[in-house]
Structure 1
Amino acid sequence: MRLHVADHPLIAHKLTLLRDARTPSPTFRHLAEELVTLLAYEATRDVRTADVEVTTPVATTIGTAIADPRPLVVPILRAGLGMLEGMTRLLPTAEVGFLGLQRDEETLQAITYANRLPEDLSGRQCFVLDPMLATGGTLVASIDYLFERGARDVTCICLLAAPEGVRVVEEHVGDRADVTVVVAAVDERLNEKAYIVPGLGDAGDRLYGLV
C-alpha cells in the first residue's frame, strides 16, 4: 500500500476551513468539493490513458484520452456522496458505483447495507471516496468488496486519516494488490470514541446535518 499526503498550500488552507467548527454545512459542502478536486488531481496521476487522433484547426495530431474500461468511482454512503461532485468534475467520463457502509459505534466494525457495483471489476481502476480514515474498518471492507469482484487497482481518497487507520489498511492489504491512499493530512491520533484528533468532527453530520 502507498500513502500519499498531498502537501499543497491550497489543500492546507481549505482543510483548515473545514476543521473550523463555525463553518456552516453549505460552506462545508462547497469546500469539501473543492478539496476533493485538488486531491483527485493527485490521485489520478496514474490513470490509464490511450492515444487518440485529433484534428485541430491547423493539423491532425495524436492526443490523450482516458482508456477503456472506464475508471469506477465509488463513494461510501453517506458521507462519501459529499465528495462525488468534486471527483467527477475532474474525471467526468468515469462510471459511478455506490457502497453503503456504516460503523457500529459499539464494535467499531463496518456494516454493509447497500451495494450498487458491477459484478466484474477485472481491469478496472477504482477510486473509493470516504472522508475519514479513522479506524480503517470501513475502508478495509470497501477494498475487500472491490477485490472480491476482481479489482486489483484501488485508490482511496480521504480528507483526513489517523495513524491507527493507516496501519490497519496497510497491514490488511499487504502486497495483495495495487492500493494507494491519498489524503490531505494525517492527524495525531484517535480518541476513545474513535474520532480523529484534531480532525473535523463527523463528516456526514457536517455535510448533511444530524438526521
Structure 2
Amino acid sequence: MLNVYENVPKFENENFLLRMVSNSDIDSLLKVYSDKKSLPFFNSDNCHGDTFYYDTMEKMEKAIEFWLYSYQEKYFVRWSIIDKSTNKAIGTIELFHRDANDYFTNTGLLRLDLASDYEKESIIEDILNLIISDTYELFYCDKIATKAISTAIERIQALRNCGFISTDNVLIGGDGTKYHSYYVLERKLIND
C-alpha cells in the first residue's frame, strides 16, 4: 500500500492536476491567498489563528515552507490544484488523518482553498472527484470531512453531488473551541 508520506501521488483529469505543493507555485498561489473574495471559504479551523490570508510574497513563501515542513513531519499533505488550461495553481487541497475525542475521529480532514473565480459547483465537484476515492486508503480513515459555510452555495451543492451530507456534529479544536459547518462522506463498504 502507498505511504503518502513517502510518495505523494498525482491526480489528474482533462481539466486539473493535483500535485504536491511546490515553491514554484508562489506567484499563482499568492493570487489565491490574497483574494479577499476567496478568504471566507478557506477552512482555518484549529489553525492557531492563521486565516490563510497571505498578501505578500514573503507571507506566501513562509506558508509554503510551513506546508512542506508539515509534510516532512507527517502532519498533513497539501496538493496544489493546477488548472491545465493555464498551467497555474488555482488553489490547494490539504488532507490529514485526524484522531480525536469527538465525532471527527478516524477522519480524513480535507481543506479546499480555491481562487474565487473557481468557486463553482462543477469545478469543485470535478476537483473533489479526483481525490475522494483514494483518500480512505491514503489516510487510513472511514470518513472524509470538510467545511462549507452556509453562504458557500456552490461548494455545498458540489459536496452534495459527491455524496457528502451535512452534520450537526462539532469538531472540537485542540484548545476546546467548537467548529461547525462540516460535511461528511462515509466510506461505503462493498460486500463481495
TM-score scaled by length of structure 1: 0.30
Which structure: greater strand fraction? 1
Higher RCO, Cα 8 Å, sep 6+: 1
TM-score, normalised with respect to structure 2: 0.32
